[in-house]
Every structure is written in structure tokens, then in C-alpha cells.
Amino acid sequence: MFSRVVWGTQTAILVIIVAVILSIFAGVALGLVSGYVGGWLDRILVVVADAVYAFPSLLVAIVMSIVISHGQSSLWGGIMAAAISITVVFIPQYFRVVRAEAIRLKAEPFVESAKVIGASSWRIMARHVFRNATRSIPLIFTLNASEAILTLAGLGFLGFGIEPTSAAEWGYDLSKATSDVTAGIWWTGVFPGLAIVLTVLGLTLVGESMNDLADARIRTRGKKKSAAKGAKVATAPSSEGSPA
């Protein structure tokens, strides 16, 4: 049980990396093109993204897993199947955020200045819009990483994940531990579940911390508090009665 919980960490990390990287590339590229170009292409992409986003994420992941690997696969085949199925769920989130920022940024003066000097649309999107439209991506990355863990565990629990003989996976271990509870065997389900909870909690706390660091108001309040404490220390009297 200990070895499967430890080895399952590798499977979870690989799925997170592959799924989030694929969804970032696809979502950011589609969001930039849709928001900057607009027109009929924007309307089509918005309708498709809304249609995917309307379905339950786990249901979409199950359908994609069945289509890609017929529900079961080897280590890398299962990792890619789970990652691609999770990617389909995450693409609309990045698409919406980047598209909204691209629509706002294309009306900014620096974009108009780039058009005046003859810069092409692809250069404007790559050099000017992209840098400003992806500032919130790290926060979404941490939140999606925790959601990818839960989606992978859900696929494994329902039997649509990686084969147990190919790799360890926490969701599959939880599924098999349900029959042990009635026999008084509690540790087969506690430790995989604890690994999922701690991993999701850690990723969520990282995302919240990054959100606090990105918030200018919180940083300003922190600087004011530090300055006020420094002023109090500087004006506090010393033991001899003279100012410090």
C-alpha cells in the first residue's frame, strides 16, 4: 500500500504536467486568435467553448477516455489518454480568460500605435497582446492542477483510468478499498485518499498565495504595515531613555 501511494505520485505529476501544458497551449492560442481577430471565427469558437464548458467535466473526461483508449491502457497510453481528456475540459477556461483580455487589449493605445507603424497582426498578438493577456495564467494553472488530480482520481475510481498492472493510481486504489471497509481494513482507503486531499490542498494554497502576491492592493497594505512597524521601532525610546 505504501509503495502504491508513493508511486502514484509520479502518475499524478505526469498527468498534471501533460494535461495543463496541452490545455495552456491550446487555450491561449485559441483565445488570442478569437479575441483579437473577432468576427465569425470568434462566434464559432465561443459557441464551441460554451458547449464544452456546459457539460460536466468528469463526464467529458470519461467520454474522451473511452474514445482515446477504450477505458484502459498502458502507462504512457493511459497518461496521455487521461491528460488529453482533462485537456478538453480545461481548454475553455484558458480560452475565456485570454479572449477577454485580448478584446480589452486590442483597443489599447500601444496596440493602435503598433498598427500605425505597420506591424502585422501576428506580431502584435505575439509581442504585445500575449504578454499582457497571460498574467493570470499561473493562478489558473495551480487551480487546474488540483482539479486534474480530482479528475484523474475520478477516472480511476470509476474504472476508466490506467491499468493497475501498468502504474499506480490513487483513484483505482480507493475504488478497490471500498470492499475492504466492511472487513475492518481501513488503511487501504485512508492513505490514497489522504494523498489526494493533501496534494489538492497544497496546490490550492499555492494558487491562493499567488493570487495574493498578484493583488496590488494586498501588497500595498503589506508595505504600509511594514513601514508603520519600522516607524514605531525607530521612534521607540531605548533603555537609557534616549531615542533609538
Question: What is the spatial distance between Cα 34 and Cα 112, in angstroms, rounded to a whole number?
Answer: 18
> Which amino acid, 240?
E
Q: b/e for 76-90, b at 16 or more Cβ within 10 A?
A: eebbbbbbbbbbbbb
pLDDT at 244: 46
CATH 1.10.3720.10 assigned to 2-232: yes
Which residues touch 145 (CB under 8 Å, ≥6 apart)? 16, 20, 203
Residuewise pLDDT in 10s, the chain (244 residues): 888 888 888 888 888 888 888 888 888 888 888 888 888 888 888 888 888 877 777 787 787 777 777 655 666 777 777 788 778 888 888 888 888 888 888 878 887 787 788 777 777 777 778 777 777 777 788 878 888 888 888 888 887 777 777 778 888 888 888 887 777 788 888 898 899 999 888 888 887 787 777 665 655 665 556 655 655 555 555 444 545 4
Residue 160 neighbours by CB distance under 10 Å: 26
- Using only C-alpha atoms, the chain has a radius of gyration, in whole angstroms, of 24
> Which amino acid, 104?
R
Question: What is the spatial distance between Cα 151 and Cα 86, in angstroms, rounded to a whole number?
Answer: 7
pLDDT at 66: 78
pLDDT at 93: 84
Taking alpha carbons only, the member of 127, 101, 99 closest to residue 113 is 127
> Which segments of 127-183 does DSSP mark as H helices, in order?
130-133, 137-158, 170-177
Q: What is the DSSP letter of 181?
A: G
Q: pTM score, two decimals?
A: 0.71
Question: What is the spatial distance between Cα 199 and Cα 191, in angstroms, rounded to a whole number?
Answer: 12
Question: What is the spatial distance between Cα 185 and Cα 100, in angstroms, rounded to a whole number?
Answer: 51
Domain locations along the chain:
2-232
Contact (CB, 8 A) for 151 and 89: yes
pLDDT at 222: 56
pLDDT at 221: 60
pLDDT at 243: 52
pLDDT at 39: 82
Q: Cell numbers 482507503 correspond to what residue?
A: 189
